[in-house]
Amino acid sequence: MDCKSWGSRDIVFLCIIVLSLIHVSLGAKVRHFKWEVEYMYGAPDCQEHVVMGINGQFPGPTIRAKAGDTIVVDLTNKLHTEGVVIHWHGIRQLGTPWADGTASISQCAINPGETFEYRFKVDRPGTYFYHGHYGMQRSAGLYGSLIVDMADGEKEPFHYDAEFNLLLSDWWHKSVHEQEVGLSSNPFRWIGEPQSLLINGRGQYNCSLAAKFSNSSISQCKFEGYEKCAPQVLKVRPNKTYRLRIASTTALASLNLAIEGHKMVVVEADGNHVQPSAVNDLDIYSGESYSVLLKTDQNPYKNYWVSIGVRGRDPKTNQALTLLSYSATPASKLPTTQPPVTPRWDDYNHSKAFTKSIYALMGSPQPPKTYDRRIILLNTQNRLNGFVKWAINNVSLVLPSTPYLGSIKFGLNNAFDRKTPPDNYDSSYDIMKPATNQNTTQGSGVYTITLNTTVDVILQNANALAKDVSEIHPWHLHGHDFWVLGYGEGKFKNGDEKTFNLKNPPLRNTAVIFPFGWTALRFVADNPGVWAFHCHIEPHLHMGMGVIFAQGAHRVGQIPKEALACGLTGNKQNVDA
Amino acid sequence: MDCKSWGSRDIVFLCIIVLSLIHVSLGAKVRHFKWEVEYMYGAPDCQEHVVMGINGQFPGPTIRAKAGDTIVVDLTNKLHTEGVVIHWHGIRQLGTPWADGTASISQCAINPGETFEYRFKVDRPGTYFYHGHYGMQRSAGLYGSLIVDMADGEKEPFHYDAEFNLLLSDWWHKSVHEQEVGLSSNPFRWIGEPQSLLINGRGQYNCSLAAKFSNSSISQCKFEGYEKCAPQVLKVRPNKTYRLRIASTTALASLNLAIEGHKMVVVEADGNHVQPSAVNDLDIYSGESYSVLLKTDQNPYKNYWVSIGVRGRDPKTNQALTLLSYSATPASKLPTTQPPVTPRWDDYNHSKAFTKSIYALMGSPQPPKTYDRRIILLNTQNRLNGFVKWAINNVSLVLPSTPYLGSIKFGLNNAFDRKTPPDNYDSSYDIMKPATNQNTTQGSGVYTITLNTTVDVILQNANALAKDVSEIHPWHLHGHDFWVLGYGEGKFKNGDEKTFNLKNPPLRNTAVIFPFGWTALRFVADNPGVWAFHCHIEPHLHMGMGVIFAQGAHRVGQIPKEALACGLTGNKQNVDA
């Protein structure tokens, strides 16, 4: 419909009105963003360091869209020597697998000075985020929020008056380049616990808002309010319902969030509605998101602590703190009580109780009753020529320099290991003890999955290199949600599938395995592309903790040439699909 | 000559012998190297930091070859997110402009996981080095020595009994990534003076070998000898002549080297023989190399200081020290005297006297008597939207994402600014004062030079942004040597060419401009390719202090496809020349 060809100015004007009406009725918009990624000075926890920012902001700008909208981000790499990509965590990229933003998997890293257009549809409402997916650039600060509201005319199955967005992360003072060197060194040097936890990119390292309740000699934070590391206070009115959108893009830390004196009702997990359940505190692992509803039904002449602490690892990091501040009370007035105490880091029963309390909302899509293929993935910590690695069924993932999406589509046989990694592990393996043979292999092989089949994945945890140690790993699947069918202790065995919840399992994109346990997932391979499935702990992925699922490569549409401009697909740029 | 086609095993054997003899008589060899670049832990000045190394070594391995040899380096990028290239400083790359190792100019940066083959001839003997030429990777530690001996049967025009190699550099504790952020920030943050000076990658930050002569409270270094930061002692026998090969790959520092009690005779500069001249100390700027002869004619029952200090900037860095140790004396015995004092940093007369004392050895190639084109390049420090830049004739160089060599050869008009930067500057510009209009422009334009013409370049220094400040800049030309025709004070003016030395000007690849002065260079544009000409101070180049010379693009042979695998030439990989 070309308005100008009608000729008369009045008609053009009328035409624009008509088009606007159509637009409103359709609701869907194309939302354009021009972003530049660069390093900049920042002080996320009040101590100055270099941080990766977008358009001079850390965290990056929040994208706010409506379900059905198309997002277009022209991402320009203003780094001097590093490539960059951005992954849109939780967006399934239906029909646009090249926009998934995974270097070596869905696209070539964007070279310094170049611009890549990410164009994809946000088909479902929910609380999402985006982050770097190359080296450890996420931990360097490359992340931000992506919030998708209900399409016009549609309503959430719950009511709220207003909302807050809390993007959680962890922060190290050592640069990720130096962290990477340690992880790749022999002897191995672990990155250690984070210096700070951040809420929307803000934390306090050298001071605490609750210093007087601390056993240490840490000083009381004094903020004028304008400081970039001053906490964002949640200002509320009494007797209202607030939606808190909480997402975790931590590099490492599993977190627990509690709000003094207030219960929270969980209503969304990873962009999917869940059966409302009231909790006093909420565990959130890297890669997860939740929405909770909070009623401001407490004494309005007080303020209340929002506290976030570390779970699953012996914490050496102070709680992140901010305030829930009622409008009747000055935001500067600190509570006279101690902030909520984070549950003990190794109280796994607490963690399991929370995680298992998440069920799909009635009416949610149900899983197929059977599976076509079951892949059991044993998670082990290993050695490779003296270097410490993580491996899945004894293969530690190394990414190829030519991204899989292009090399698989074009049948380039030399781009990665042709050997398919195994669907299972040696049944005699004792998951409760350090491996007798700690050596692993390294590989870039791919799990090829038949399009539109149903796949069960059993994530099997095991003892790490040290005795009596088994860690939590939050596994994140690209391009799909999966149903979490169940969790179990010890080794998954035949018959355990009888315990699967096929009635109302939650649909998620991230699920944890608990120490020495297993987690069962089911998904339908209905999205042609090549998709990473990996531990969302960034240094663990860096150490090889992931696998690659390829499906329906022949059904992948024409890949933009910019996504192919490297390695063996460098000269495939003008080849049609 | 195909041996195998002769058929009989004996004949093949004979054939191999014959071929070997031919090989020996020709002398020239192909020397293969397999290198992997990665970050690693190092302690160049005894304090641990991340350093860029090759095959686990810092500095990188020394290449030793004979004139006429072909060097083949298969360079694999083992960095996680950064591209990499290596420039072979002083090697003219006759016929192989794609092997010059300049990102955005001669090739695409090598992506992580990829390998690029550098294959080039070292046609002339001399003291060279190699280093990173992408972002500030040189300063991160990516450098090493490249020594080319005389071809078999040929002799140096001087005698020596043995030699030492001293590769000089400067070292910061702040990562180059953080340095780059400061340079690109508004307000501007300068990198400051180096923490240490290094000799062959070794320095001492927290201690001094000559602590007792220091005014500060610095402690005495105590080394067992095996430490990676222990100085390499020059162990000599009495009454011999030693050749010291000295090269500077500093990021910033201009240096002065002196050896206690010993004169040095300069015999080589930047790979060219020079008229021998005896000096007590030697100034060396970043990008330069010298050979000096040293007679061990002093008391052999003593050791002597080798000291290196900073010139041209108010030094805040301790001298680098090592020992000249006579065989009769234990290497651990320190001199009882103070190390040679470096000439005052601003004693420019001393600097000029040394630099001007370098003449070509009789019989060296002489410059053409006239020039075809004169390019006058005004060096200024400027502002651009509040950012601090260096500019040449008011253009601050920004490199394009598609390397020039490919885009010019293939006539890709959108790859860089089509506007040619000017051959001169406004004659009313007062070089003795800060500019009245401090703003500069930014550009990626190219000086196109007609092949086989003679070009004079007048480098014109000027006052920087601050009053009464003008700095030393060592300018380095890729792909050529130039004759240094002369130096002058103030603004170069008509008639100054009468002072040019056309009789025995030294051939060099690097020459300085002194504060508020000019330097005149002449070269013959006889090497088809695209060549950088820039200040060799790495942060200055980063801030735009360079120009691009293109010549004879139509005569450039087939560029290896790996050098083109990015930007607009990404799909030119299979196009023949």
* DSSP track, B240-282: -EEEEEEEE--SS-EEEEEETTB-EEEEEETTEEEEEEEESEE
CA-CA distance, A19 to A1, in Å (whole number)? 9
CA-CA distance, B205 to B71, in Å (whole number)? 36
Q: Is the CB of A417 inside 8 Å of chain B's CB atoms?
A: no
Q: Is the CB of A519 inside 8 Å of chain B's CB atoms?
A: no
B chain contacts of residue A399, beta-carbon cutoff 8 Å: 113
Query: Which residue bears the tokens 């808002």?
Result: A209
Across the interface, do A111 and B112 touch by the CB < 8 Å criterion?
no
B chain contacts of residue A175, beta-carbon cutoff 8 Å: 175, 177-178
pLDDT of residue A577: 35
Nearest of B197, B201, B212 to residue B307 by alpha carbon: B197
Residue A12 in this model has a pLDDT that exceeds 60: no
Question: SS3 of B568, please?
Answer: helix
Residue A7 in this model has a pLDDT that exceeds 60: no
Across the interface, do A570 and B567 touch by the CB < 8 Å criterion?
no
- Looking at this predicted complex, what is its ipTM? 0.93
Q: Identity (one letter) of the amino acid at A547? A: V
Across the interface, do B401 and A175 touch by the CB < 8 Å criterion?
no
Which residue of chain B has the CA closest to A179? B50
pLDDT of residue A30: 97
pLDDT of residue A5: 46
Q: Is the CB of A413 inside 8 Å of chain B's CB atoms?
A: no
pLDDT of residue B138: 98
pLDDT of residue A10: 56
Contact in structure between B411 and B511 (CB atoms under 8 Å): no
Across the interface, do A135 and B80 touch by the CB < 8 Å criterion?
yes
Share of chain A above pLDDT 70, in %: 94
Q: Is the CB of A184 inside 8 Å of chain B's CB atoms?
A: yes
pLDDT of residue B17: 52
pLDDT of residue A157: 96
Question: SS3 of B460, please?
Answer: strand
CA-CA distance, B90 to A107, in Å (whole number)? 38
Residue A276 in this model has a pLDDT that exceeds 80: yes
pLDDT of residue B10: 55
Which one of A111, A137, A576 would you mutate to disrupt binding with B, by most B Cβ within 10 Å of its Cβ?
A: A111
Structure confidence at residue A574 as a pLDDT band (50, 70, 90)? very low
Contacts for B274-281 with beta carbons within 8 Å, 24 or more apart? Answer: B274/B358, B274/B359, B274/B360, B274/B361, B274/B506, B275/B358, B275/B359, B275/B360, B275/B361, B275/B362, B275/B504, B276/B158, B276/B361, B277/B357, B277/B358, B277/B359, B279/B354, B279/B357, B281/B256, B281/B257, B281/B340, B281/B342, B281/B343, B281/B354
CA-CA distance, A104 to A86, in Å (whole number)? 12
Nearest of A271, A346, A354, A313 to residue A540 by alpha carbon: A313
Which of B50, B185, B565 lies nearest to residue A566, judging by beta carbons?
A: B565
Across the interface, do B571 and A566 touch by the CB < 8 Å criterion?
no
Structure confidence at residue A572 as a pLDDT band (50, 70, 90)? low
Across the interface, do B40 and A181 touch by the CB < 8 Å criterion?
yes
Across the interface, do B565 and A561 touch by the CB < 8 Å criterion?
no
Across the interface, do A113 and B137 touch by the CB < 8 Å criterion?
no
Across the interface, do A181 and B81 touch by the CB < 8 Å criterion?
no
The continuous run of DSSP H or E covering A449 comes out as strand A447-449
Q: How far is B38 from chain A (nearest CA, A)?
A: 9
Which of A81, A114, A181 lies nearest to residue B50, judging by beta carbons?
A: A181
Residue A298 in this model has a pLDDT that exceeds 90: yes
Which one of B36, B111, B387 would you mutate to disrupt binding with A, by most A Cβ within 10 Å of its Cβ?
A: B111
Residue A19 in this model has a pLDDT that exceeds 80: no
Q: Is the CB of B305 inside 8 Å of chain A's CB atoms?
A: no
- In order of their start, the domains of chain A are 15-149 (2.60.40.420), 162-356 (2.60.40.420), 373-572 (2.60.40.420)
In order along its 577 residues, chain B shows pLDDT tens digits of 444 444 455 555 554 555 444 444 467 999 999 999 999 999 999 999 999 999 999 999 999 999 999 999 999 999 999 999 999 999 999 999 999 999 999 999 999 999 999 999 999 999 999 999 999 999 999 999 999 999 999 999 999 999 999 999 999 999 999 999 999 999 999 999 999 999 999 999 999 999 999 888 899 999 987 899 999 999 999 999 999 999 999 999 999 999 999 999 999 999 999 999 999 999 999 999 999 999 999 999 999 999 999 999 988 999 999 999 999 999 999 999 999 999 999 999 999 999 999 999 999 999 999 999 999 999 999 999 999 999 999 999 999 999 999 999 999 989 999 999 999 999 999 999 999 999 999 999 999 999 999 999 999 999 999 999 999 999 999 999 999 999 999 999 999 999 999 999 999 999 999 999 999 999 999 999 999 999 999 999 999 999 999 999 999 999 999 999 999 998 765 444 3
Q: How far is B135 from chain A (nearest CA, A)?
A: 6
Structure confidence at residue A6 as a pLDDT band (50, 70, 90)? very low
- Burial pattern A217-228, b for ≥16 Cβ within 10 A else e, equals ebeebeeeeeee
Q: Are strands B70-77 and B30-42 parallel, antiparallel or unpaired?
A: parallel
Phi, psi of A409 (to 5 degrees): -60, -40
Which residue of chain A has the CA closest to B188? A41
Across the interface, do A41 and B185 touch by the CB < 8 Å criterion?
yes
Residue range A328-371, pLDDT digits in tens:
999 999 999 999 999 999 999 999 999 999 999 999 999 999 99
Which of A376-390, A460-474, B6-20, B397-411 is the least confident region? B6-20
User: Which tokens in the block code for residue B364?
Assistant: 């060296």
Residue range A204-239, pLDDT digits in tens:
999 999 999 988 889 999 998 789 999 999 999 999
Which of A39, A180, A185 lies nearest to residue B80, judging by beta carbons?
A: A180
When the pLDDT of each residue in chain A is averaged and rounded to a whole number, the result is: 94
